[in-house]
Amino acid sequence: MALLTISGDAASRWEEVARGAARTLEFELVTEARLSQWMTEEFGEAAIPARMWRAAAVTVLARLSKEHHLAIAVEASEMLFPAMGQVLRARVTAPVAQRVGNLMLDERLEKPQAVEGLRDLDAEVKRLRKARYGRTALDPGIFDITVNAAHAQAAEMLAAAVARGFGAPELLGAAADELQFRTRLELAQHGIAPAERAQVKRAKFGHPSEEVFANLLDFYRIEWQHEPRTFPLQWDKHGQPTKAFTPDFYLPEFDLYIELTTMKQSLVSHKNRKVAMLRAIYPHINIQVFYQKDFQDLIFRHGSRLAG
């Protein structure tokens, strides 16, 4: 897989450099507009909270990266992904005088107005960075490649540097699944799921972890039922149940009951005892105590069928 992130100085025409480099590299160009469209298709028309924008964007891009090499020309895109060998981060710069001149030509402004306009554009970029990533400062050390847009062959120079940096790029496989899982978990913890969620009748969950788990199941298009059955475990002399157990979820596709658990050992032991009793009384019932890692293993085991 090859993920190339490109950002640049306002009014440097860095988007044109990105477009030329993507064309030369034969990478799929991702602009702000295209990414916004894909995110709408994934999550519906409701606005994604700014603090969750990064996770939502990475969820979409990780899926696409399994099929395409991506050149992501989005402001501050260098902060989208964690440190990964498959990601190169490029920055396009230009002298202030050139940026002012570009605004004068593009917007038909006099120089004083262009100077003021450039100041406003720089401030807007800082506001966007603050909203999406919680920081305004640009970290020059994060970039692998820096190109000056004042050079007539800036796009070709960027493409050549990227080609050398990547060598023979390969599409992302399991790494994309893991990246997607982690961002979907982050979104699920904030109650954000795919657009199809609006069509699903929501259960009344007894614990926040259950809703997070349900959100994750929705992300992976896995059918689920919440507490669909209660199993008696002990009876009195009249045959009336005195102890029973209701697993948190049932996954019809896997014929699997799931009891979620926390990391608190006392709760884990208590639940394990109930599960052991259920298995002894109902040996035909498939039930498992689930940690987060168990769900991740389930997703990765079934591969692209669930992770798409």
Tens-digit pLDDT profile for residues 36-45? 989 988 888 7
Number of residues that this document lists for the chain: 308
In this predicted structure, what is the pLDDT of residue 112?
95
- What is the rounded CA–CA span in Å between residue 290 and residue 276? 14
Structure tokens at 265: 């050992």
Domains belonging to the chain, first-starting first, are: 3-173 (3.40.50.300), 193-307 (3.40.960)
pLDDT < 70: residue spans in the chain: 1, 168-173, 195-202, 262-267, 292, 301-308
- What is the rounded CA–CA span in Å between residue 101 and residue 123? 18
In this predicted structure, what is the pLDDT of residue 124?
95
- What is the rounded CA–CA span in Å between residue 199 and residue 215? 13
- Residue in 286, 296, 119 with CA at minimum distance from that of residue 217: 296
Instruction: Report angle CA 39, 42, 43 to the nearest 5 degrees.
Output: 85
pTM: 0.76
Contact 6, 18 (CB under 8 A): yes
- What is the rounded CA–CA span in Å between residue 182 and residue 172? 15
- What is the rounded CA–CA span in Å between residue 165 and residue 27? 14
- DSSP 8-class letter at 144: S
Q: Which residues contact 232 (CB under 8 A, 6 or more apart)?
A: 241, 243, 244
In this predicted structure, what is the pLDDT of residue 265?
54
Residue type, 87: V
Contact 59, 81 (CB under 8 A): no
pLDDT digits (tens, 9 = 90+) for 191-226: 887 765 434 445 778 788 888 888 888 888 888 999
- What is the rounded CA–CA span in Å between residue 304 and residue 260? 24
Instruction: Tell me, rounded to whole angstroms, the distance of Cα 289 from its chain centroid.
Output: 27
Q: DSSP per residue over 177-197, as a string?
A: HHHHHHHHHHHHHTT---GGG
